[in-house]
Amino acid sequence: MSTVARNQQRSSTSGDGSRESAQVAAASGALRRRPVQQRSTERVTRMLDACAELLDEVGYTKLTTTLIANRADVAIGSVYQFFGDKRAVVRALGMRHLEVFFESLATHIAQRQPAHWWDLVDIAIDEYIAMHRSEPGFRTTHFGDAVDINLLDDSRTNNDVLTDRIERLLDEHFNIGSPRGLDMALTVAVETADALIKLAFRRDPDGDPALLAEAKKIIRQYLATYVQDRDS
């Protein structure tokens, strides 16, 4: 069953569709207009699902709004009602991916109860790896890098947006504030993990396990060094 079909089935059986609405709301920065009615929200969700599937099948270069409309079973006018072009659809998908990432991260933090803030970063790496394996369209564009490294925010790179959200999450759970050097440490950790994880999935469609393990070890050792330097 395709992602679009699964979503249609989910919409017909779910209660208030609050998670779907929240993810569309997260993507609203890329929308021409924000859907108000549930039916419009479901249409936008189908378009994003269709975009994700097609990115994995044909890639960004061959992606078109017509393909998205056909796969989502909507009129092409419906696509342009909410999106200016295919880049806008991919941007909205990247924002939804970011929201899905942090929703799943929050769930796993609650389950694993990390004792230290660098353990939370470790959980984030696990979730980033899981997104490559389970979230349609993610391994093709990540948070939009394949299209534009500034896709999520015109003034910052996609990884800077991710780093900022992780830093806020760390402060929320560990009340760490903004100690000197933390911004740089997290930037290095995110950029390094991102590069190594992408390499692992280029080598193996399921992610080269040895390389993924090495990536986690490198980040753990680096963050441990930062903590030691800060405490010394």
- My answer on whether 118 and 172 are in the same domain is yes
- My answer on whether 110 and 12 are in the same domain is no
- My answer on whether 121 and 200 are in the same domain is yes
- My answer on whether 79 and 137 are in the same domain is no
Q: What single string gives the DSSP state of each residue in the chain?
A: --HHHHHHHHHHH-SS-HHHHHHHHHTGGG-SS---SHHHHHHHHHHHHHHHHHHHHHHHHH--HHHHHHHHT--HHHHHHH-SSHHHHHHHHHHHHHHHHHHHHHHHHHHH--SSHHHHHHHHHHHHHHHHHHSTTHHHHTTTTTT-TTSSBTTB-HHHHHHHHHHHHHHHHH-----TTHHHHHHHHHHHHHHHHHHHHHH-TT--HHHHHHHHHHHHHHHHHHHHHHH-
Q: Among 89, 121, 142, give the residue marking a domain's end.
A: 89
- My answer on whether 156 and 47 are in the same domain is no
- My answer on whether 57 and 125 are in the same domain is no
- My answer on whether 123 and 184 are in the same domain is yes
CATH code for the domain of 189: 1.10.357.10
Q: How many domains does the structure of the chain reveal? A: 2
- My answer on whether 188 and 158 are in the same domain is yes
| pTM: predicted TM-score of the whole model, two decimal places | 0.85
Along the chain (232 residues), what's the average pLDDT of each consecutive run of 10 residues?
Answer: 46 52 68 82 95 96 97 96 94 93 94 91 94 95 89 92 93 83 92 96 96 95 80 58
Q: Among 89, 117, 143, give the residue marking a domain's end.
A: 89
